Structure 1
């Protein structure tokens, strides 16, 4: 067993921690304050609180409210141009995973010439190294889904190539400061709470059944699953249940640490193809729709039998003895969260495009297909999509 543990992020976790922003040393004097194009940060009051904290420290800022779900390269390039024009020297990413992922890509193009796709290392990316340090990032999470506040990568979508791929490869993409305050998540609607929580869950599960886990990633992953089991259905049922929100937020951050320790499996690039082709499909919803067919296939191959039993127990089936118990536990959690009847066709995914989705996933996400404990063929990939489609 050999591994390197490296996560240089200062993490402030817990209810009320956003108030600490007034006192924290910040990595610059003028910020790009990045948020989504929606109004959630206005409604939950977090935008005004962050602005007040920056004002209190004498930090100038410009507000960029342009990030969409599944952030696009066009948004990244426009924001990078604004950073240069305004003379910003760091980024405050206030929002969910899309905002934090976009911030990492913006941090690259703010200090490096060319297009963001030049620095993507898979698919049709240019595979260039990141020559200049990206801008420093402060990540303030208002949702619990991606763990992006503590890891060094982000996922963006290129609408021209119809690829959704991660950007990483530089220490500077780890945020300098992360604030995870469950109070900021109290207003997240039930369906988004579920989508985001399942995204965190699948980060942990994939990191547990991947080809090369470590003792440390296993510890993070199983504890993340346990906290999802303890809190997600409760948070979906009652968004004001702060204890439940805390469980899910903690699970989310733990799943981010999983991704600093090991690699995910092919479920993620299979979903990335779905939301690359259909921009409005929430990432977590796509993962949910794939999950039973995907993990069912893995279990049929005999892969990771003991680990699926352990995952079933972490999800609450304490007497689990068969890997299929994991599938039952996962389905029961989906029912409890009201997401068991999602249909790909409701987001415009057609049965006929499945071969193209499979080809896209395997090309753009080749590195994660290599992490599967049993290799998926192209035909396997197609059959999983077909089993999941409705």
Structure 2
């Protein structure tokens, strides 16, 4: 029953929440507003609304618009230099998980010397502690996938070494305020709604079967799984379904919170290896690609039979009575969301990469393997990649 919990982020949740930004106490006077290198934030008017709200609250603003999916170390370094050059004293992350992750890393670089990889634990990281307080961050999420708006972690790819590693865990990296406005998610295309929703789902699924699970983390995880199971397919089918968007956003925020008190498992390490070598692979898509053979491995190993049954029930299979029912429920949800037919080959992956990916996953994020209830060897990990290959 033991657990530790500390989530200092002020969460402002609900349709229309962006309209409340101008009334918030800001943590500085000049904001670096970080957005993606795509068009949607501008085209949908979210950037203009955010800039206007910040100006109404008395802050100056500059915009950094270079963040890509699976944010790169080089982009983080450029963002930190940009923040210093313009004298920014806080950051507003406006976008999905990649933007929020990059913003936390930029917040470190803006106030600390050296390279962001100096502060990474794992792989070739320098394992240094953050000496100077990072810039404070306000997170305005426009997607429902990573939960990054309420946790103290950031995932960055080192393009020079093919390493994608989570960094952080420092309480100073929690966003000061998270605005979760489902209205900002209405324009997310169906495919990416599904990718992001499954990312949120697997955060909670992994936390629920991890060795570090507790009564408190279970409460968050199961509620998130129930909301994804009940509403994700609706959000994919009709992106304008605000009720569905609200429930998926709620699940995403819960999944972010659960990661602050419980570990993920090797599934996330495995996907990080995939997208470290294949930059264009969306993180959620990578998780979907390996999920069925991954969870089948642990079902067959009888890692935690009762927990798989309970998750199947939470996904909507109320008559579930055996752990294999979770695999059925997961496959049914993937089919309902139109992502069951995803192929690794569509993203440039080859079956021969399996052992390389397995070894990379352990070398960069080995701690997640230690969270598994049943040990997963490199060979078994490679077999999961091979079985997932199409």
For this structure pair, what is the TM-score category when the shorter chain's length is used for normalisation?
over 0.9
Aligned counterpart, 1:46: 46
Instruction: Quote the offset at 1:102 in angstroms.
Output: 0.2
Instruction: Quote the offset at 1:65 in angstroms.
Output: 0.6
**Unaligned 5+ runs, structure 1:** none
Instruction: Quote the offset at 1:43 in angstroms.
Output: 2.3
User: Is the 2:24–2:57 contact (alpha carbons within 8 Å) kept by the matching residues of 1?
Assistant: no
Consecutive aligned runs of 4 or more in structure 1 exceeding 6 Å deviation = none
Distance, in Å, in 2 between the alignment partners of 1:43 and 1:141 is: 16
Aligned counterpart, 1:112: 112
User: Is the 1:130–1:169 contact (alpha carbons within 8 Å) kept by the matching residues of 2?
Assistant: no
User: Is the 1:143–1:184 contact (alpha carbons within 8 Å) kept by the matching residues of 2?
Assistant: yes
Question: Which TM-score applies when normalising by structure 1?
Answer: 0.99
Distance, in Å, in 1 between the alignment partners of 2:18 and 2:169 is: 29
User: Residue 315 in 1 paired to residue 329 in 2?
Assistant: no
Distance, in Å, in 2 between the alignment partners of 1:50 and 1:380 is: 47
Aligned counterpart, 1:230: 230
Aligned counterpart, 2:20: 20
Distance, in Å, in 2 between the alignment partners of 1:181 and 1:113 is: 35
User: Is the 1:30–1:89 contact (alpha carbons within 8 Å) kept by the matching residues of 2?
Assistant: yes
User: Is the 1:71–1:157 contact (alpha carbons within 8 Å) kept by the matching residues of 2?
Assistant: yes
Aligned counterpart, 1:74: 74
Aligned counterpart, 1:275: 275
Q: Secondary structure at the match of 1:245?
A: helix
The 5 Å alignment of 1:361-372 reads 361-372=361-372
Q: Secondary structure at the match of 1:287?
A: helix
The 5 Å alignment of 1:156-195 reads 156-195=156-195
Instruction: Quote the offset at 1:229 in angstroms.
Output: 1.1
What's the CA shift string for 1:258-277, capped at 9, x where partnerless?
10110000000100000000
Aligned counterpart, 1:211: 211
Distance, in Å, in 1 between the alignment partners of 2:209 and 2:368 is: 12
Aligned counterpart, 1:139: 139
Q: Secondary structure at the match of 2:91?
A: strand
Q: Secondary structure at the match of 2:371?
A: coil
Distance, in Å, in 1 between the alignment partners of 2:203 and 2:170 is: 21
The 5 Å alignment of 1:89-100 reads 89-100=89-100
**Unaligned 5+ runs, structure 2:** none
Instruction: Quote the offset at 1:210 in angstroms.
Output: 0.3
Instruction: Quote the offset at 1:184 in angstroms.
Output: 0.2
Question: Which TM-score applies when normalising by structure 2?
Answer: 0.99
User: Residue 388 in 1 paired to residue 388 in 2?
Assistant: yes
Distance, in Å, in 1 between the alignment partners of 2:286 and 2:170 is: 28
What's the CA shift string for 1:294-350, capped at 9, x where partnerless?
000011101110000000000000010010000000000000000000001111101
Matched residue count: 390
Aligned counterpart, 2:260: 260
What's the CA shift string for 1:212-250, capped at 9, x where partnerless?
101110000000000001110000000000000001000
Q: Secondary structure at the match of 1:365?
A: helix
Over aligned residues, Cα RMSD in angstroms?
0.6
What's the CA shift string for 1:88-124, capped at 9, x where partnerless?
0000000000000000100111111000000001111
Distance, in Å, in 2 between the alignment partners of 1:354 and 1:319 is: 36
Distance, in Å, in 1 between the alignment partners of 2:338 and 2:169 is: 37
Instruction: Quote the offset at 1:352 in angstroms.
Output: 1.1
User: Is the 2:266–2:371 contact (alpha carbons within 8 Å) kept by the matching residues of 1?
Assistant: yes
Distance, in Å, in 1 between the alignment partners of 2:332 and 2:169 is: 38
Aligned counterpart, 1:350: 350
